[in-house]
Amino acid sequence: MEARVYVCDSAKIQDLKKIVEADPYQKDSFATQGYILKGGDALGMDTKKMYLYIKAEMDFFKMAEEKLKGIVERAKKEDEEKIVKSIEDEQNSAASGFGSMFG
């Protein structure tokens, strides 16, 4: 699996949400694959942009990028690495915190 980050301008956020929230129970939907949508302020990035994190197989990215064409662009490599690390660290912290509750 690969993790990728895409950037969306504030003017296109509603279009992005419409696509990622569509058909949540379909096999190849964004919802079943899993995605995280965060504002730039939460990531220490451009506050006027939203960032879409997806961790998936290559086949999913081909379909996703076709659906998202004209709405998002892939984040610059250094920004993508920073955001992926931030989100994955956050997920790992949450998982270990939840695990310690039931220890």
d(CA 38, CA 8): 10
> Which amino acid is located at 14 in the chain?
Q
Where residue 78 sits, what CATH number does that domain have?
3.30.70
Per the structure, the complete domain to which residue 88 belongs is given by: 2-102
Residues 6+ apart with CB under 8 A from 91: none
How do residues 52-93 score in pLDDT, each as one tens digit? 999 999 999 999 999 999 999 999 999 999 999 999 998 887
The pLDDT mean for the chain works out to 90
Number of domains the chain contains: 1
pTM for the model stands at 0.87
